[in-house]
């Protein structure tokens, strides 16, 4: 089938859906629009749509960018138009472009009957998270928390479930479907767990004395065979390989989170404190006394010159495309407000982050965001110019996770602050 034929088919299919939604306004089974219409709240790459539901009514959301006069009659012809069927309030429309205004309206139907009249159209513009922070619950994970977010198939119902995992001192384990309510799990190990990741359809945690544990559902855990007694401080998974780094230059890798192998060549004995698989396809590990190591396969590593003596804690990279050419910006953060940037992960330049607070964690999705001592949170679009954000806390932030289009930071007492 040609591209033109595919497009024509999809257009016809969506047209049928829209006609069904619009038709039959005189039918006795046609519901009125929700009382009070709909309200929208912008988030990072998303908009939350809320309304007053009527029992027995099925609701459809229609949306499109850059059209403040969006209506049933113009929706289909608007470039970028989209819809969500059989939704309940509140509903989060994801996959949107930050900085672009989106218009929304809704129709309802009863017993799969014709669609009713549309609500008035409302507009919202998604924007980056990280500027407004809210204090949340307190986890009893101890001085350092590892946190991740993933999915699993619940055997009893054969449905996919989403879950957070938090790990910490003494092997503590917590799980949650929302960052507001956490459930303690029975520890598998008694040693500290410093890092958590999701990959290979597993939740994986690593920590002191080289301990690695894994679970397919956060409930039943297995300890992997130990291949090191060194403390493991950080971990990253790129979908096909897991890399954990630790004390005295320790790097171990796995293709399934079950069987682990010591890296072939590591030209450093420094404590390694952070690791990431970056946008360029390069692994970067960072650590004490300005240590930066790079690798293309996780097995063989090369030492790079950072020109810094700071303990480096975290690393990430963003990609940008201009005129068909992709470039990368690598960022490393560490103690005393250290920020280093590089275009190739080889040559590094110190940047002024407008803070002397030690920076402990970094996120590199849509923007750079780092957290650290004294409640410090800084953001940057390019890794060069940084802005201090108001965190509403003075506690040291040690852990940072981006999940569900929001940032979640955890302090040394287990307290959560979040931004979305």
**Residue 222 placed within a domain:** yes
In tens, the pLDDT along 232-266 reads 999 999 999 999 999 999 999 999 999 999 999 99
115 and 84 part of one domain: yes
**Residue 355 placed within a domain:** yes
Which residues, 6+ apart, have CB-to-CB distance to 400 below 8 Å?
314, 360, 361, 362, 363, 369, 370, 371, 407, 408, 409, 410
Task: Count CA within 13 A, CB hemisphere, residue 223.
Answer: 14
Confidence of residue 14 (pLDDT cuts 50, 70, 90): very low
In tens, the pLDDT along 185-234 reads 999 999 999 999 999 999 999 999 999 999 999 999 999 999 999 999 99
3-state secondary structure labels for all residues of the chain: CCHHHHHHHHHHHHHHHHHHHHCCCCCCCCCCCCCCCEEEEEECCEEEEEECCCCCEEEEEEEEECCCCCCCCCCCCCCCCEEEEEECCCEEEECCCCCCCEEEEEEEEECCCCCCCCCCCEEECCCCCCCCCEEEEECCCCCCCEEEEEEEEECCCCEEEEEEEEECHHHCEEEEEECCEEEEECCCCCCCEEEEEEECCEEEEEEHHHCEEEECCCCCCEECCCCCCCCEEEEEECCCCEEEEEHHHCEEEECCCCCEEECCECCCCCCEEEEEECCCCCEEEEEHHHEEEEECCCCECEEECCCCCCCEEEEEEEEEEECCEEEEEEEEEEHHHCEEEECCCCCCEEECCCCCCCEEEEEEECEEEEEEHHHCEEEECCCCCCEEECCCCCCCEEEEEEECCEEEEEECCCEEEEEC
**Residue 54 placed within a domain:** yes
Where is the domain boundary, 124, 147, 174? 124
If we measure between CA atoms, which residue out of 109, 50, 119 comes closest to residue 85? 109
Q: How many domains does the chain have?
A: 2
Where is the domain boundary, 124, 147, 169? 124
Confidence of residue 155 (pLDDT cuts 50, 70, 90): confident
266 and 385 part of one domain: yes
308 and 166 part of one domain: yes
**Residue 322 placed within a domain:** yes
**Residue 129 placed within a domain:** no
For residue 25, pLDDT over 50 is answered with no
86 and 154 part of one domain: no
244 and 214 part of one domain: yes
Where is the domain boundary, 81, 102, 124? 124
Alpha-carbon distances, residue 381 vs 329, 365, 368, 385 (angstroms): 10, 10, 6, 7
114 and 144 part of one domain: no
Count of Cβ atoms closer than 10 Å to residue 386 Cβ:
22
- Rounded CA separation 211/226 (Å): 6
> What is the domain extent for residue 148?
134-419
139 and 105 part of one domain: no
CATH assignment of the domain containing 116? 2.60.40.10
108 and 212 part of one domain: no
pLDDT value at residue 20: 52
Residue 79 in tokens? 């470039």
**Residue 16 placed within a domain:** yes
255 and 363 part of one domain: yes
Alpha-carbon distances, residue 81 vs 46, 71, 96, 202 (angstroms): 15, 11, 11, 35
Confidence of residue 18 (pLDDT cuts 50, 70, 90): low
120 and 143 part of one domain: no
The chain-wide mean pLDDT, for the chain, equals 93
Confidence of residue 115 (pLDDT cuts 50, 70, 90): confident
For residue 26, pLDDT over 70 is answered with no
8 and 79 part of one domain: yes
395 and 306 part of one domain: yes
CATH assignment of the domain containing 251? 2.130.10.10
Confidence of residue 47 (pLDDT cuts 50, 70, 90): very high
Contact 295, 303 (CB under 8 A): no
In tens, the pLDDT along 267-319 reads 999 999 999 999 999 999 999 999 999 999 999 999 999 999 999 999 999 99
pTM: 0.89
Contact 250, 213 (CB under 8 A): no
CA of residue 405 relative to chain centroid, distance = 6
């Amino acid at each position: 089938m040609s591209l033109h034929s595919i497009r024509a088919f999809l257009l016809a299919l969506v047209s049928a859906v829209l006609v069904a939604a619009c038709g039959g306004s005189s039918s006795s089974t046609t519901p009125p629009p929700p009382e009070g219409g709909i309200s929208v709240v912008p988030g990072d790459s998303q908009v939350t749509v809320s309304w007053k539901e009527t029992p027995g009514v099925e609701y459809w959301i229609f949306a499109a960018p850059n059209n403040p006069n969006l209506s049933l009659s113009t929706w289909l012809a608007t470039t970028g138009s989209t819809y969500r069927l059989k939704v309940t309030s509140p509903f989060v429309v994801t996959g949107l472009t930050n900085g672009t205004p989106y218009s929304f309206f809704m129709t309802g139907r009863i017993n799969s009957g014709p669609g009713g009249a549309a609500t008035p159209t409302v507009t919202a513009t998604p924007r980056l998270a990280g500027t407004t922070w809210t204090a949340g619950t307190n986890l009893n994970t101890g001085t350092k928390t590892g946190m991740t977010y993933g999915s699993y198939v619940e055997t009893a119902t054969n449905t996919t479930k989403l879950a957070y995992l938090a790990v910490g001192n003494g092997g503590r384990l917590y799980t949650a479907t929302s960052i507001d309510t956490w459930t303690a799990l029975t520890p598998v190990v008694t040693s500290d767990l410093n890092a958590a990741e999701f990959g290979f359809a597993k939740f994986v945690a690593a920590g002191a004395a080289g301990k690695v544990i894994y679970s397919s559902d956060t409930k039943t855990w297995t300890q992997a065979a130990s291949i090191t007694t060194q403390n493991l401080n950080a971990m990253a998974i790129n979908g096909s390989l897991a890399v954990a780094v630790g004390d005295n230059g320790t790097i171990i890798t796995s293709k399934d989170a079950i069987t682990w192998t010591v890296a072939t060549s590591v030209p450093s004995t420094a404590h390694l404190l952070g690791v990431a698989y970056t946008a360029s396809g390069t692994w970067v590990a960072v650590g004490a006394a300005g240590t930066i190591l790079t690798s293309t396969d996780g097995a063989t590593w090369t030492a790079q010159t950072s020109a810094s003596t700071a303990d480096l804690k975290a690393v990430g990279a963003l990609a940008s495309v201009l005129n068909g050419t992709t470039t990368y910006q690598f960022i490393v953060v560490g103690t005393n407000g250290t920020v280093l940037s590089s275009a190739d992960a080889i040559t590094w330049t110190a940047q002024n982050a407008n803070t002397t607070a030690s920076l402990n964690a970094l996120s590199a999705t849509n923007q750079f965001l780092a957290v650290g001592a004294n409640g410090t949170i800084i953001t940057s679009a390019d890794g060069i110019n940084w802005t201090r954000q108001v965190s509403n806390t003075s506690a040291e932030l040690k852990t940072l996770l981006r999940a569900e289009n929001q940032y979640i930071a955890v302090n040394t007492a287990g307290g959560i602050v979040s931004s979305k």
